[in-house]
Amino acid sequence: MIRCALAKGRMADGSLELLRRAGYAVEAPAGRRLSARDPEQRLEVFLAKSPDVPTYVSYGIADVGIVGEDVLRESSPDVLELLDLGLGACRLVLAAPRDRAAAPPRPSAEGALRVATKYPEIARAYFARRGVPVEIVRLSGSIELAPELGLAPYVLDIVETGSTLEAHGLAVVDEVQRSTARLIANRARWALEHAALRAFARALEGALRVGIA
Ligand code: PRP
């Protein structure tokens, strides 16, 4: 049986739907359960917080995983990236209150630019490339609250529909990168269980083509 870690939240439904189109009749875990199997016992899926998906895969607890490219770029895990699944397309952007967003970010007279984010590594690299000193404030979620509450004037976060930015009076300053869901695999498992995992990846690839056609 193949064990697959799925990122909870925005991408979970799309990931399960793709698995079903690929021929694995797996339903969303029932009630408060976080794992489920298909009736033929070919696949077990479990839902984890997105930053934990590459961790489960790199430790070989899961053979494969489906997680956003944003998470992979942030943590650079030692896993194989097999496929771009195109699901959960979003943008990672630098944003600020509308009156500030039109101008390029400049550090204040006191020194570094303060940026709240769940992506400290991506943020650090982005500002290092521009030679702008930053103070990164790491948060776990609800990032758009930071400017309103006075924690940080800038945020680096995911935008999908743009409604959360809009609802907090924020506007995009710059696009940092785009992101879609990726199929990842444990390196050792990929070598040892090559035929089974390749067949799994091919089934997903086929389901993507069907989805697009
Ligand atoms: C993400 C992101 C934004 C929101 C953007 O949050 O951090 O808050 O989605 O979506 P939108 O552009 O469609 O409004 P998520 O729901 O993953 O939860 P979080 O705030 O706990 O990170």
One domain for residues 197 and 173: no
How far apart CA 159 and CA 84 sit, in angstroms, is 19
Nearest to 20 by CA among 212, 203, 197: 203
Does 68 or 40 have the greater pLDDT score? 68
Is there a contact between 21 and 207 (Cβ–Cβ < 8 Å)?
Answer: yes
One domain for residues 80 and 185: yes
pLDDT per residue as tens digits for the range 136-194: 999 999 999 999 999 999 999 999 999 999 999 999 999 999 999 999 999 999 999 99
pLDDT at 126: 97
| Tally of structural domains, the chain | 2
What does pLDDT average to over the chain?
94
pLDDT per residue as tens digits for the range 48-72: 999 999 999 999 999 999 999 999 9
Return the amino acid letter for 160.
E
Is there a contact between 37 and 26 (Cβ–Cβ < 8 Å)?
Answer: yes
One domain for residues 136 and 189: no
How many angstroms is it from 158 CA to the middle of ligand 1?
6
How many angstroms is it from 41 CA to the middle of ligand 1?
34
Q: State CA 145 to chain mean position distance.
A: 20
Q: At what angle do helices 194-212 and 12-21 cross, to 10 degrees?
A: 100
Q: Bridge partners of 3?
A: 44
CATH number (domain holding residue 9): 3.40.190.10
pLDDT at 109: 60
Q: Can you read off the two tokens belonging to residue 201?
A: 């990846």
Q: Can you read off the two tokens belonging to residue 137?
A: 């404030």
Backbone phi and psi for residue 112, each to the nearest 5 degrees, phi listed first: -75, 155
pLDDT at 108: 63
**End-to-end CA separation in angstroms for the chain:** 30
Enumerate residues lining ligand 1, CB below 6 A: 9-10, 141-144, 157-164
One domain for residues 173 and 136: yes
One domain for residues 67 and 99: no
Those residues with Cβ within 8 angstroms of residue 168's Cβ, 6 or more apart along the chain or in another chain: 144, 145, 147, 148
One domain for residues 116 and 174: yes
* Protein residue whose Cα sits closest to atom 18 of ligand 1: 141
Nearest to 178 by CA among 158, 208, 156, 154: 158
pLDDT per residue as tens digits for the range 81-118: 999 999 999 999 999 999 988 887 766 665 789 999 99
Those residues with Cβ within 8 angstroms of residue 63's Cβ, 6 or more apart along the chain or in another chain: 2, 3, 4, 57, 185, 186, 189, 193, 197
Domain that holds residue 37: 2-88+180-212
One domain for residues 191 and 150: no
Is there a contact between 176 and 122 (Cβ–Cβ < 8 Å)?
Answer: yes
How far apart CA 124 and CA 103 sit, in angstroms, is 20
How far apart CA 17 and CA 25 sit, in angstroms, is 9
pTM exceeds cut of 0.75: yes
* Protein residue whose Cα sits closest to atom 19 of ligand 1: 141
Mutate to test the pocket of ligand 1, among 144, 164, 172, 175 (most ligand atoms within 8 A of CB): 164
